[in-house]
A and B are shown apart, each in its own frame.
Chain A
Amino acid sequence: MNFEEHAGKPLLKAAGIPVPEGATATDADGAAGIAGKLLAGGGKVVVKAQVPTGKRGKAGGIKLAGSADEAKGVAAAILGMTIGEHTVGKVLVEQATPFTREFYAAVINDPETKGPKILFSTLGGMDVEEAAEQDPNAMRSLAVDIRKGPDAAAVRAMLDGAGLDGLEDAVAEVLIKLYDAYTANDAELMEINPLAVLEAGGLIALDCKFTMDDSALPRHEELAKTGTPDKLTGLEAKGKELDLKYIELEGDVGVIANGAGLTMTTMDVVRHHGGVPGNFLEIGGESYTKGTEALSLVLDNPKIKSLVINFCGAFARTDVMTEGILNAWDELKPTLPTFWSVHGTGDVEAVAMLKERLGVDPLPDMSAACKAAVDAAKNAGDA
């Protein structure tokens, strides 16, 4: 789950990393009110669009203001703006912070070392891709044994020769605190970009990107409420409610399969035969009893012109999945051309059930089933 800047920064602050003072508003008057308070001590404020995507500055979603009135105007312009695929509904109003340098700092889950990795670069304030283009060797990294946490001397050593001009100890301290924020919140990614050097001296986190490991959500129920749920279509939201993995796609061939790998492959084979899948829907694992819900979900998409049902049972029993689909079939009586491929655990029972209740045989393999579904969708399109 992604967290917007305003939800991530308090976690940095809790770990002892300085962040600018500020608050969020959902309308221009609210933004003006916050700006008024922050400007009492002079200086400027920065008004920042809160959307879970990068490149906010380039899109015009980050603006400075020198007065409450100006902040109101800027906030009115930013609120309602579209950045990426997100509509801005919230702004963060913060004290603007004059700085001299920008660094990059992050802690990530690293599949190579199978542990956490601390990253640091002096090329901050830009995309990591951009920074990598500018200097592929700028990124420094340190693998950490999660049982022990980062070793202070090793963190200090990773900064040797980075050109920090005496800031090494201060940066090392921030990196260790960032690591604490990463572990305390079950992060996949805890990133500060930029980590700025203040004109007045010292370091401050001017942005925060935090992604929580979805598998850890059950142990962070309160925090999860401040996260930004994935943007879902109506059907995807319904799928989520039913606890099914459903992704709506642009094509007209419906896909139901068990297991992520098999479902992806079914989509590949539909493409291979010149068709375009209309959805990803897998009912494997513990949701294999949800055939009924799965069929109704696929049928709810008016773009779908044919359907391929591809089961290969291991843990998920094909007879249980087939029975679920057939129960929904009796109720919904769809006219959609549907092609089956059924193999693995429970297949003898499943095939008998298909014959008895629908009067159909599965096709010999998934390639034949996908091809038949692609042809049927094309014919329906021509008609």
Chain B
Amino acid sequence: MIIRGNHKVIVQGITGKQGTFWSERMMEYGTKIVGGVNPKKAGTEHIGVPVFGSAVDAMKGLDGGFDVSILFIPPMGAKAAALDAIEAGAKAVVCLTEHIPVQDVMYMMAAAKERGTQIIGPNTAGGVTPGECFTGFMPAFNDKIFRPGNVGIISRSGSLGTLMCLNVVQAGFGISAFVGIGGDPIIGTTTRDALEALDAFEKTEAVVMVGEIGGAMEEHAAEYAAKMNKPMAAFIAGGAAPPGKKMGHAGAIVMGDKGTYKSKADALSAAGVAILDTPMDVGPVLKERMG
């Protein structure tokens, strides 16, 4: 799902240093933050919103509940916090935390699937819907980067995604939504999920995808891209990277030959997606594809 300005948002870990700093930035920008969670500070108020002992309490205690929870929670506490938000009935959970043990992540994913909660991340810098709201730690307020417009951006990496938005805006376009899906091997919202969401988002007329070597998400996204009407371009990072940390043998056989730059570029090309040699090529390609 694309998080919009009318979604009600809580922040788990709102009283921490980063939680406080970024919650204030989000509120200034327009994100509708209606509460926060810290079990030790339940019943107090922080930066103008009520603090609850849990997301479940927040759902009961807030008038009209909440839609989305953002996690500013350290790695070893992230599983419990996410399960709390899922149990509360959050529609989406934005999980910014890096280095959550993968078995904890898989536990969160299984619980989220059962309850129909959309997890975004882990290890994402968040998302931006320019002119409406942002979630996480993105420089949404910088209008050289996030000028509102009609190009949707998907990225595993926050910094590289930001660079792509900058290049799109420098080329004279604007951004409809930036979806940071996260850099972990197992994530809740895949490239394909994000692509489907942007395809369904009425403000989006073209999509730029920023992929990376490893995994098979870009290949899966290509299957959807083949039947999509909105024009699409993709940059895949890591073409020049030396073969890195080897996947376990068992992983290698499950993946087959997927995961290489070539595999991703070939799959996307075959689906009619324009492959960008560098992020700077995005402007001319969008001009050509969007007419």
**Interface on A for B, CB 8 Å cutoff?**
54, 106, 108-112, 114-117, 119, 127-129, 131-132, 139, 141, 145-147, 183, 186, 188-189, 191, 193, 209, 211, 213-216, 218-219, 249, 257-262, 264-265, 267-272, 277, 280, 284-285, 312-316, 343-345, 347, 365-367
Given A146-B107, A272-B277, A367-B280, are A284 and B248 neighbors across the interface (CB < 8 Å)?
no
Contact B137 A116 (CB under 8 A): no
CA A112 – CA B215 in complex, angstroms? 9
Which residues on B sit within 8 Å (CB–CB) of A343? 144-145, 162-163, 166
List the B side residues contacting A313 at CB < 8 Å.
139, 159, 162
**Cβ-defined contact, A261 with B161, below 8 A:** yes
* Contact across chains for B166 and A264 when beta carbons are under 8 A apart: no
Chain B residues within an 8 Å CB radius of A116:
103, 106
CB <8 Å contact, B76 and A314: no
Which residues from chain B sit less than 8 Å from chain A, CB to CB?
75-76, 98-103, 105-107, 109-111, 113, 125, 137-139, 142, 144-145, 155-163, 166-167, 170, 183, 185-186, 188, 210, 212-213, 215-217, 235, 237-242, 248-254, 277-280
Interface contact A261-B212, CB-CB below 8 Å: yes
Of A110, A119, A209, A312, the contact of B163 (CB 8 Å cutoff): A312
Measured CA separation A97–B30 after assembly (Å): 69
> Does the CB pair A129–B254 fall under 8 Å?
no
> Is A128 touching B99 in the complex (CB atoms < 8 A)?
no
What residues of A have a CB within 8 angstroms of the CB of B254 in the complex? 108, 110, 112, 117, 119, 141
- Whether the pair A215, B101 counts as a contact (CB closer than 8 A) is yes
Q: Which of B155, B185, B280 is A365 in contact with, Cβ under 8 Å?
A: B280
Please tell me if the beta carbons of A147 and B111 are within 8 angstroms of each other in the complex. Answer: yes
List, in ascending order, chain B residues with CB within 8 A of A264's CB.
160, 212-213, 237-238, 240-241
Residues on A with beta carbons closer than 8 Å to the beta carbon of B240 = 264, 267-268, 270-272, 277
A147 x B125 contact (CB < 8 A): no
Q: How far is the CA of A128 from the CA of B279 in the complex (A)?
A: 37
Give the shortest distance, in Å, between B65 (CB) and chain A (any CB): 25
**A258:B159 contact, CB within 8 angstroms:** yes
Q: A257 touching B159 by the CB < 8 A rule?
A: yes
CB contact under 8 A between A315 and B137, given known A116-B106, A267-B241: yes
Residue in chain B with minimal CB distance to A370: B278
13 contacts between A and B (CB under 8 A): A106-B248, A111-B186, A115-B106, A116-B106, A128-B252, A141-B254, A215-B102, A260-B183, A260-B212, A268-B241, A312-B163, A315-B137, A344-B145
B109–A265 contact, CB under 8 A? Answer: no
Report yes or no: B253 in contact with A314, Cβ–Cβ below 8 A: no
Given contacts A111-B185, A188-B248, contact A265 B163 (CB under 8 A): yes
Q: Assess whether B102 is in contact with A108, with CB atoms less than 8 Å apart.
A: no
In the complex, what residues of A have CB within 8 A of residue B76's CB? 218-219
Residues of A within 8 A of B162 (CB): 312-314, 343-344
Contact of B101 among A106, A131, A216, A267 (CB under 8 A): A216
Contact of A265 (CB < 8 Å), options: B183, B250, B279? B279
Shortest CB-to-CB span from A126 to chain B, Å, is 11
Known contacts: A116-B106, A218-B76, A261-B183. The answer to whether A128 contacts B160 by CB under 8 A is: no
B159–A249 touching, CB < 8 Å: no
Task: Name the residue among B101, B188, B216, B240 with the largest chain A CB count within 10 angstroms.
Answer: B240
